[in-house]
Structure 1
Amino acid sequence: MSDEVRAYHALSKHRPDAWAPGPGHLEWSTQPAPFRRYAGARCIALPRRPLEETPRYDQPFAGPVGAPGPFDAASIGQLLYDSLALSAWKEDGGNRWALRVNPSSGNLHPTEAYLLAPAGSLEGPAVLAHYAPDLHGLEVRAELPAALALPAGGLLLGLSSIHWREAWKYGERAYRYCQHDLGHALAAIAIAASALGWRVRLLGQVPDARLDALLGLDRPGFEEAERADALLWISAPDAPLPRLPGTLLDGLAALELDGTPNRLSREQRHWPELERVLQLCRAPAQVDGDDAFTPGRQTDDNPGLPLRPLLHRRRSAQAMDGRTGIHADLLLAWLRRLMPENSPVPLALAGAPQVDLLLFVHRVQGLEPGLYWLARGAAPEAELAQGLREDFLWRRVPGELPLYRLLEGDARGLAGFLSCGQDIAADGCVALAMLARFDQALEQGAWRYPRLFWECGLLGQLLYLEAEAAGLSGTGIGCYFDDAVHELLGLADSRWQSLYHFTLGRARWDERLTTAPAYPE
């Protein structure tokens, strides 16, 4: 399986002389609908608090905030509103589209969410429900009989992907972007949960194939395939991980479901290598980790800033001004946020961090322009230089962070070229490439491959929020020349692979677009 995953990864690389296999042009008549809906399912409208009712921005990163909230409609609604809901509507020339709290490649949003809520949490029996972000409501697919008792003391939240949503635009490379978006969603959910005093952990005891049945995704009626990715346990910080007995799993898989899934596209094109890697990388049952989050120190880098307005204000920049700079203290604060000990993201099953960062520093007062490496723990620091260019300096920047200067000089042109020639990578304050321990992950199993992208997506979501908190903007860059990055590093093997690019700076916004609220007041 490892060789087949490597073959997909090689096939889906962009190169200066050849793009990864894709559609070539966009067939607008087959663009997938942006929302999965279940016709005929009863819908529960969810409440949401005013954005002014909020903890400070830094608080959720230091640990769950305050006493755990009750598991009721108000708290469940707030969790989903602050992580997966719409954030605004945009309009231009008669075209109208929604933006969401969680970022997505091309704003295509392949990630869907399904809630298993215990009896009483929604003032009735336990339910399996699909979250409909366009309504900010739950579409009830089944009410559970009393004999199927869900674990007490928390919520089960399943995440899935509709890969056609991304493949319509990106072809074979779309599998990568779906996994990035899964990581974005994981981080968004973890932060929103922490603001409610809750903790998020991944449950690995249900294999992906069985999780499809648990969420009702294996039933007839889906014109576009949807596959389960992850099952989350959301609970009070000290609540133990539940055990899901086989009788419960069998009972959930046998439920009679309400609602018919909508057809998203009048036709779709199949991408065989994407479909192959999807099957190869489905996770088996695993032993659950017991600790998703070790509280970090309270940084107070953004004293007094409210959390929820930032969550809902986050936008992906389309262009940077090419002039704005930042101070080194701000960049170092951003990088501290990305260290594993300082973030409540659910990585218990991923073990040690697998991603380090290669930084292209452009306009940072107090830090020389050039190429830098942030060691997040993906490899022992003593081994970082192995297999890389001999002329790298590996000069540690003074301070607490394991940040090393590799090369000095203007890296703007280099950053732009490596990101498929996109000026946005050169016109920000700093750009970066996320480098994953590729060989090491695949030695543990093909199912580790998508989780490398999850970790990159988690980091991307944190960078989005850090930029917003500083009054700036960021954007993820999925288009880059994979092997050109590796050639820059002097890599002769695949121990490191670049899996996601990102840039941060002062955005230039398109003033022709009009903005409307996400939901009617």
Structure 2
Amino acid sequence: MTDLDAVRAYHALSKHHPERFAPGPGRLDWATQPAPFRRYAGARLIELWQRPLEESPAYDAVFAGPLGNPAPLNRASLSQLLYDSLALSAWKEAGGSRWALRVNPSSGNLHPTEAYLMLPPGALEERGLLVHYTADAHVLEVRAELPSALGNSLHTVLSADGCLLALASIPWREAWKYGERAYRYCQHDLGHALAALAIAASALGWQVRLLRGVAEAGLDAPFGLDREGFAEAEHIDCLLWVGPAQANEPVLPQALLDGLAALELDGRPNRLSRQYREWPELARVHPLCRAPALSPLSWEMAPGCASADNPGLPLRPLLHRRRSAQAMDGRGGIDVSLLRAWLARLLPDHSPVPFAVTGEPAQVDLLLFVHRVQGLAPGLYWLSRSGLDPEALAEGLREDFLWERADDVLPLYRLLEGDARGLAEFLSCGQDIASDGCLAVAMLARFDEALEAGAWRYPRLYWECGQIGQLLYLEAEAAGLSGTGIGCFFDEAVHELLGLADSRWQSLYHFTVGRAVWDERLSTSPAYPEPRLPPV
């Protein structure tokens, strides 16, 4: 069996069906619930700051490209980047239980994604640093101070006042609840984080771009994740440039990577669970999907459209107010003009932030279940984000789909008219939240075409879905509504709806938007006890 065959086998194994779910734990073992925060005991801490949320750029402006002159790389700007992308947003409490919410969404609020930064000399301190960001305290944990030679080499590579940021995943955090399907959730959570970082960076005049020139399997060692002491596996999934816009990807010399891999590290990683269960296919698929060293792509970015759909609305309060709704009221609707604005935001050419992060073409289209949109008949619609025309889209799908143009500007096509609420609910594992919103979405990936490049493209399809999900969350909040990502859906039932007889399209993530019904038994408290303001 080839690597690609094994990835396809994993994808099939991890599908939900009406008669059976993907292999999972069956019940939650609360005694082994993973700790939500990675900490390194004994590591030196660098406190970060939080500027008042009122000090904010306009929401609409950040999607067209980096705003204004780039901020200098220092403690204040790094504090703001992480606060607006990966930090806590609030604490919730009910019945003696207390849990944190974060700026970046996560499946089941389990948060498998961790962040590490490689900072050049002079950014925070005189020496270069390898640090881990911990959201519970909004601090950096110093894992290593770089020797002068390594620091100088890193400074040469990052001469444009930028830094390297690596995102890692801890699969056990998701597998504890979701079993073999957890790899999917880790990857679209990483997509949420990519979008959150790109948007927060744009507000600072920075770009976030994926580094392709280093094989992903070679990233664990430079960031210290190959060392002894990790009771639960953690691996780097992507390495990012964060800083002023660049035309080309910086080249990381192998000598620099080898030197970083040989560093003596401070801090001991905490154990997240008293014990954990190995899910064999989950462990198998991860190394198969790690990207090899790839040819760099140009980082030149065409500016998007700085629309004014939400004039005067500030960005940062929205980032920190974003929540996942647990129930919708089944009555709230929207006007078609608002839906048009949402869908335009999701087009890569309109919003290079965040969709230009990987440099790869869009591979995910949207199947819309329209329930309550004034000015648009209820039914099924297709948004062609990938640029295919109706003739190409219709190939291999149901012959009774209409493919009628439903908008003069957007590539939006009407497939079928009628009440799709029951259908959306059934396909989303019987969850009424999919029928009670104003619309639901199934994210459909051009699966076969993407995998022609190799198994490494599999997780990146989920990254794209996660980016779309993060924008839907923010657009909903901007409209005074709420969104919810839906990871539980009947994969093949969606494909049967489309009339698919092959795997050219695969549904990878569902979403719903509507008017939330909040549980009044829950109490809310601030993310951090007291704001740490930067010095004047």
The code of the aligned residue for 2:222 comes to: L
Residue 322 (structure 1) aligns with: 330
Do the aligned partners of 1:354 and 1:378 also contact (CA within 8 Å) in 2? no
Deviation at 1:428, TM superposition (A): 0.2
- Alignment of 1:53 onto 2:21: no
Q: 1:421 aligns with which of 430, 435, 452?
A: 430
The code of the aligned residue for 1:161 comes to: S
Deviation at 1:345, TM superposition (A): 1.5
User: Quick one: distance in 1 between partners of 2:357 and 2:61?
Assistant: 21
- Alignment of 1:213 onto 2:221: yes
State how 1:63-212 maps to structure 2 within 5 Å: 63-148=65-150, 149-150=153-154, 151-153=158-160, 154-212=162-220
- Alignment of 1:301 onto 2:301: no
Q: 1:272 aligns with which of 270, 280, 295?
A: 280
Deviations 1:199-225 (A, max 9, x none): 110001111111011111001100000
Deviation at 1:350, TM superposition (A): 5.3
**Equivalences, count:** 521
Deviation at 1:288, TM superposition (A): 2.1
- State the SS of the aligned residue for 1:499: strand
User: Quick one: distance in 2 between partners of 1:101 and 1:292?
Assistant: 28
Do the aligned partners of 2:165 and 2:241 also contact (CA within 8 Å) in 1? yes
Moved segments of 4+, more than 3 Å: 346-350, 378-382
State how 1:354-365 maps to structure 2 within 5 Å: 354-365=363-374
User: Quick one: distance in 2 between partners of 1:399 and 1:201?
Assistant: 33
- Alignment of 1:512 onto 2:529: no
Query: RMSD over aligned Cα, in angstroms?
Result: 1.0
Query: Which consecutive unaligned segments of at least 5 residues does structure 1 have?
Result: none
Do the aligned partners of 1:14 and 1:479 also contact (CA within 8 Å) in 2? yes
Deviation at 1:398, TM superposition (A): 2.8
Deviation at 1:346, TM superposition (A): 5.0
Do the aligned partners of 1:163 and 1:225 also contact (CA within 8 Å) in 2? yes
Deviation at 1:87, TM superposition (A): 0.2
Deviation at 1:380, TM superposition (A): 4.6
The code of the aligned residue for 1:482 comes to: D
Query: Which consecutive unaligned segments of at least 5 residues does structure 2 have?
Result: 531-536
- Alignment of 1:372 onto 2:372: no
Deviation at 1:347, TM superposition (A): 4.0
Deviation at 1:296, TM superposition (A): 1.0
Do the aligned partners of 1:212 and 1:228 also contact (CA within 8 Å) in 2? yes
Do the aligned partners of 1:288 and 1:349 also contact (CA within 8 Å) in 2? no
Residue 30 (structure 1) aligns with: 32
Residue 232 (structure 2) aligns with: 224
State TM-score, norm by structure 2. Answer: 0.96
Residue 483 (structure 2) aligns with: 474
Deviations 1:404-440 (A, max 9, x none): 0000000000000000000000000000100001111
The code of the aligned residue for 1:152 comes to: S
User: Quick one: distance in 1 between partners of 2:68 and 2:172?
Assistant: 41
- Alignment of 1:490 onto 2:499: yes
Residue 342 (structure 1) aligns with: 350
Residue 390 (structure 1) aligns with: 399
The code of the aligned residue for 2:168 comes to: S
Do the aligned partners of 1:142 and 1:256 also contact (CA within 8 Å) in 2? yes
Which stretch of structure 1 is more off in the superposition, 71-80 or 140-149? 140-149
Deviations 1:463-483 (A, max 9, x none): 000000000000000000000
Do the aligned partners of 1:320 and 1:507 also contact (CA within 8 Å) in 2? yes
- Alignment of 1:331 onto 2:339: yes
- Alignment of 1:245 onto 2:243: no
User: Quick one: distance in 1 between partners of 2:438 and 2:301?
Assistant: 30
- State the SS of the aligned residue for 1:243: coil
How much identity, in percent, do the aligned residues show?
Answer: 73
User: Quick one: distance in 1 between partners of 2:328 and 2:382?
Assistant: 23
User: Quick one: distance in 1 between partners of 2:300 and 2:406?
Assistant: 30
User: Quick one: distance in 1 between partners of 2:452 and 2:18?
Assistant: 30
